A and B are shown apart, each in its own frame.
Chain A
């Protein structure tokens, strides 16, 4: 909105910055920074267990940080879902995106973390499970993306 940040932060700012977030959370509260765990905490009442209290604070703060960046960045426009919404009609797009979400949720809970919990925080701590999860999901994601790209003749 205010357009103070034009375009994308360079990777050598964003990457190390995110790395420092990981270190900070370990060093301050001995916690593994993970977003899927924060989402999981929101459904804990439904399942009848108590999550660590910091997780909900973290999720709200994360959303707040996203909004701040959106306000400081280029004008926010409501938009579709990249090339996926150009290729698929809305009637197909919605179920596909719902299934994407289900795969992300189901997979991250089964694996015990996502891109942040395993991919960054766990790998940085050199935890063997995290290295395996990260290698697996990146390999599968690249294979799926290249496969869909080939199948759709470059449309996706």
Chain B
């Protein structure tokens, strides 16, 4: 991993974690009140994040280049059944637990130590899906999805 890549992941990760926590997304009530449609905060935050990122990517597309990784290739994937099934199961966890993989880290850092139980389950769930895919003789899903080459490299392990 080049220095540029490492520092990029480090910098963006710190800012991202900071914002998740300082916006109270690690707090059960913030998410729960949002999902009860009583507090618009999470939808305003998510919406403004999408809008800013959408605008930023429009600028980025014009240059078409990235700083440390060559040509820009943004994800564009067609819809498959797994997106609905996986999304629905994820939504079940999101609804009951009022948290997600990132927010749980914020929760744990701010003293919500039961977040560790969720994180344990999360790792188990990730592993379980891989186990099911191996049993179905599929290549296991990883999440880069940036290039077909990566997927091929992974499945031919």
A-B contact pairs, 16 of them (CB 8 A): A14-B49, A16-B48, A21-B19, A31-B9, A42-B123, A43-B123, A84-B28, A100-B99, A103-B89, A105-B126, A114-B100, A115-B101, A126-B54, A127-B77, A132-B87, A136-B91
The reply to whether A121 and B53 form a contact with Cβ atoms under 8 Å apart is yes
Nearest B residue to A34 by beta-carbon distance?
B143
Report A98-156 residues with CB < 8 Å from chain B CB.
98-130, 132-146, 148-149
Chain B interface size, as a band, is 35 or more
Q: Is the interface of B mostly helix, strand, loop or mixed?
A: helix
The reply to whether A109 and B130 form a contact with Cβ atoms under 8 Å apart is yes
- Inter-chain CA distance A144–B52, complex, in Å, is 29
Chain A interface size, as a band, is 35 or more
Contacts A104-B121, A149-B36 given; indicate if A110 touches B5 (C-beta within 8 A): no
Binary interface encoding of chain B residues 72-85 relative to chain A, with 1 for a CB under 8 A from any of its CBs, else 0? 11111111101111
The reply to whether B126 and A108 form a contact with Cβ atoms under 8 Å apart is yes
The reply to whether B109 and A144 form a contact with Cβ atoms under 8 Å apart is no
